[in-house]
């Protein structure tokens, strides 16, 4: 998922209430095609997540994104069944590696992996490794329109570019600017987060969402290393 490291993922804020985006007129099809979206300063949205490898579903779950760029914090919840590459590999949930996992970016510029059910967590990386909160305009520079697809009944346009650790990152939005889907490919694995339009909330995000437990004070046994440090 794109953060600068994941991918993780978003859309354009208008008057802090309705997402909208700039648009260009496509003469060939005589319709409005939105330009790459920009994220609002704060919002939350739920999603359905799926990973596919060689035509086989390897994970399937739901989750929620919480984004608060104004306060330099974000949280990405991946529900039961998740196979997130940042959550896994740290031995935090040995009895159930696919248990719900949260990825939290703190104002102190730490990326925290948290399994609440087993009460385990660790610091995966920070600013020095490039693990910072996703910028609102991350898709503005260097991306191009790659796909046009109907998603949950809406015409959505996917702008994409090569990611830090992915073959490419693609962000879909509709003409009003609502984020439809985040799509990435990592080593042959296709990974989609399809967002539920009715779940969007553009209110300021409450502080408690980003709180890290006091007992979370250890570094991960296998810290993230960016590609250039391998």
Residues 161-202 pLDDT 10s:
876 666 778 999 988 888 999 999 887 889 999 999 999 999
Nearest in space to 108 (alpha carbons), one of 137, 81, 80, 73: 73
Rounded-to-integer distance, Cα 144 and Cα 17, Å: 27
Per-chain mean pLDDT for the chain: 84
pTM, 2 dp:
0.83
Q: What's residue 188's pLDDT?
A: 81
For residue 26, is pLDDT > 60? no
Q: What is the C-alpha to C-alpha distance for residues 150 and 126, in angstroms, rounded to an integer?
A: 37
- 225 pLDDT band (50/70/90 cuts)? confident
Predicted local confidence at residue 22, as pLDDT: 45
Strand order in the sheet with 42-53: 120-126, 110-115, 101-105, 73-78, 56-68, 42-53, 189-195, 179-186, 168-173, 154-161, 144-151
Q: Burial level of 207, CB count in 10 A (0-12/13-18/19+)?
A: exposed
Provide the CATH number for the domain formed by 13-206 in this structure. 2.50.20.30
**pLDDT tens-place string over residues 112-163:** 999 999 999 999 999 999 899 989 888 888 889 999 999 999 999 999 987 6
Task: Output the pLDDT for position 229.
Answer: 55
pLDDT of residue 165: 63
Q: What is the pLDDT of residue 77?
A: 98
48/221 Cα distance (integer angstroms): 29
């Amino acid at each position: 998922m794109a953060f600068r490291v994941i991918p993780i993922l978003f859309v354009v804020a208008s008057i802090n209430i309705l997402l909208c985006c700039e648009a260009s007129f496509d003469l060939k099809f005589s319709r409005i095609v939105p330009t790459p979206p920009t994220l609002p300063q704060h919002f939350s949205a739920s999603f359905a997540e799926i990973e596919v490898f060689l035509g086989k579903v390897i994970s399937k779950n739901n989750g929620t994104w919480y984004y608060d760029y104004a306060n330099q914090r974000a949280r990405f919840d991946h529900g039961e069944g998740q196979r997130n590459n940042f959550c896994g590999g740290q031995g935090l949930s040995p009895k159930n590696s696919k248990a719900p996992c949260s990825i939290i970016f703190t104002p102190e510029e730490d990326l925290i992996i948290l399994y609440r059910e087993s009460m385990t967590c660790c610091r995966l990386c920070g600013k020095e490794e490039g693990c910072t909160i996703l910028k609102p305009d991350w898709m503005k520079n260097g991306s191009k329109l790659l796909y046009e697809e109907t998603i949950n009944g809406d015409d959505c346009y996917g702008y994409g570019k090569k990611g830090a650790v992915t073959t490419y990152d693609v962000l879909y939005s509709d003409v009003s600017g609502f984020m439809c889907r985040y799509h990435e490919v990592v080593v042959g694995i296709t990974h989609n987060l399809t967002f539920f339009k009715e779940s969007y909330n553009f209110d300021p995000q409450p502080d408690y969402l980003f709180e890290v437990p006091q007992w979370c004070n250890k570094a991960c046994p296998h810290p993230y290393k960016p590609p250039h440090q391998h």
